[in-house]
Structures are given as structure tokens and as C-alpha cells.
Amino acid sequence: MEIINSSLHIRFHHLDSMKKGTSGSKSFCGDGSTLFPMQILVVLAHPDDTSFNHAIAKIVCETLDANKHQVKFIDLYKEGFDPLLPASEFSKDAILDRTIEQHCLILSEADGIVIVHPNWWGMPPAILTGWIDRVFRPGRAYRFVEGDSGEGAPEGLLKAGAAVVLNTSNTKEAREGEVFGDPLERIWKDCVFGLCGVHRVYRKMFRVIVTSTCEQRVAWLEETRGIIHEYFPAG
């Protein structure tokens, strides 16, 4: 696993003894063909390294490693990523700083993407929103067809065949849907990945974190392992 501009020092209890699962399912490129091994980008956005989000990311990376995929791991908070998009980066031909250029390249080359973050105000954390602003760039993640000045529907450029988004929340599912309309579903499936050409998107919300038991969390981590096996299995 390659850790981008960061170090994965995570402290979790009761995880090291958990058994790794197996899967015989296939993973696919955007054109439907089988691809192995894959380069998978894993992005984590949570400031507390003892959080359940970090535990999820740890299981994701362990499972991808066990399946012999090439993992690119970015912990945005640990890296100290600057989420502020400067005016100088507006142009698709802008000269980017080294970190943004590196992240853009990793995103463009990814065969699969995993995003891990909490549900804050029905949105991703600001640091992750800023990462999207700066890294999902025109000419890299999407482009407008000739003659379109930016008012039309863009063409997605990302090569990733699948994306998995893993969220945590303290809002019950019924209230989330009835009162708020599950905004994260629309953000990730339609506003981000769908627009950029990634149409096989799976999102899972683990809830309610604040009242969950140790047994529930262990079960959720096993579920996480199963999701990663399904979407990015061993060859």
C-alpha cells in the first residue's frame, strides 16, 4: 500500500484478530471487462484517528492489500490538505502545485475509488468538499464538448469502473430519508461520480454510531470487508 503524503498510524482495539473473508465475484472496468490487479484510491476524511471512520479505512486498506491490489491511500486531515480553491486554479490549463498535481494524477489513474467520511450537516466534511473542488478538475475528471462554454452536461473522464462510499451517521434512516432526503446519495452518485463518468457507485451508511455497541461495530467492519471483496475482489 502506498500512503500519499501521510502515514497510516491508526490505533484500534479488537480488530487485528478479525478474519479476512474471500469472494469469488468479479470486478469490472468501465467497459465491463475484468481487470486485475487494480489501482485503488482510498480517501479518508475524519480528524480523529481513533474514530470509526479510521477503523473502516483500515479494514478497506487491509482487504485491498489482501486481494493484491495497488492501494493509494490519502488521509486528508493527517496530510493537512488545503481545501481552499484559489482563483489561479480555475482554468483547466492552470499550473498546479505539486500536491494537487499528484492527487489529480492518482485520481485519473485509479481503476476504483473508495471514499470514507462522516455525514456532517448532510454533507462531506469541508476538507473533502475542497478536495473535490481542487482535484476533480476540468480536463482531468470531466470536460465540456466542443462549443460548450460550461453551461451543458459535461463528459466524464475518470477511468474508474466502480466507486464505493462508506459513511457514518448519528441520524436514523427513516428521519434521514423523510426529513432530509438523503443528500449524500445525490451528491456522490449524481453530482460527483455520475458527472465524472463513474456510474457503478455503491454507498453504505453505518448508523447510529453514537449508540452503537462494540458487537455492532465489529459486524459493520465485517460488512465493510465484504463490500470491498464484492467490488474489488482478488483475481
CATH number of the domain bearing residue 112? 3.40.50.360
> Is 21 inside any structural domain?
no
Report the domain count for the chain.
Answer: 1
Identify whether 112 is part of a domain.
yes
**Is position 20 within any domain?**
no
For residue 166, tell me if it sits in a domain: yes
Give the model's pLDDT for residue 144.
87
Residue 212 lies in a domain: yes
Helix (H, G, I), strand (E, B) or coil at 115: strand
Q: Which residue has the higher pLDDT, 154 or 55?
A: 55
* Residue 7, domain extent: 2-12+27-231
Q: CA 57, 2, 40, 229 torsion: positive or negative?
A: negative
In a domain, 139, yes or no: yes
pLDDT tens column, 158-200:
999 999 999 998 777 666 666 777 889 999 999 999 999 999 9
Res. 15 pLDDT band, cuts 50 70 90: very low
Residue 52 lies in a domain: yes
Is the distance from CB of 8 to CB of 71 less than 8 angstroms? no
Residue with cell string 461520480: 193
